[in-house]
């Protein structure tokens, strides 16, 4: 049974790592009344996932310990999440820089895809 729970914990950590999820959605998907499959409880007790509050919502996220556990047990999944998060961070930084440049008056949006430098 331990291998089953370990694999389910890994599934939970991977699932939470792929997309921001609310606590309600996570509980709907992962809470069980079976005392032999305490996936959510074990994952939180071991510090692999955490609940935080942001923008008036309870969000569930993977902790550094959860990422370490995933890296150790499922290196390919870990690398996929790492790349996905790097791509998201890079895209977010690019959008922030572009928006700041536009706000400062450096560019004018002519259409959805074309930017023109202002004189």
- What are the structure tokens assigned to 76, written together? 């390919």
Structural domain boundaries enclosing 48 = 2-100
pLDDT tens string 58-108? 999 999 999 999 999 999 988 998 888 776 656 555 555 655 655 555 544
Structure tokens belonging to residue 84:
């996905």
Q: Is pTM beyond 0.85 here?
A: no
Rounded CA-CA distance 21/88 in Å is 16
Residue burial 11-37, b: 16+ Cβ < 10 Å; e: rest: ebbbbbbeeebeeeebeeebeeeeeee
pLDDT at residue 81 in the model: 87
Q: CATH number, domain at 76? A: 1.10.10
Residue 47 counted as domain residue: yes
Q: CA dist 105 to 77, 95, 97, 110, 116, Å?
A: 42, 16, 13, 13, 11
Examine residue 11 and state whether it is found in any structural domain, yes or no.
Answer: yes
Q: What local confidence, expressed as pLDDT, does residue 16 receive?
A: 93
30 pLDDT band (50/70/90 cuts)? confident
């Amino acid at each position: 049974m331990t291998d089953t729970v370990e694999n389910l914990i890994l599934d939970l950590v991977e699932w939470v790592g792929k997309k921001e999820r609310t606590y309600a959605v996570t509980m709907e998907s992962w809470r069980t009344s079976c005392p032999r499959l305490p996936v959510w409880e074990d994952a939180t007790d071991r510090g692999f996932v955490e609940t935080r509050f942001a923008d008036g919502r309870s969000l569930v996220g993977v902790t550094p310990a959860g990422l370490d556990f995933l890296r150790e047990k499922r290196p390919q999944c870990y690398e996929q999440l790492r790349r996905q998060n790097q791509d998201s961070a890079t895209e977010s930084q690019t959008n922030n820089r572009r928006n700041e440049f536009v706000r400062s008056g450096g560019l004018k949006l002519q259409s959805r895809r074309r930017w023109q430098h202002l004189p």
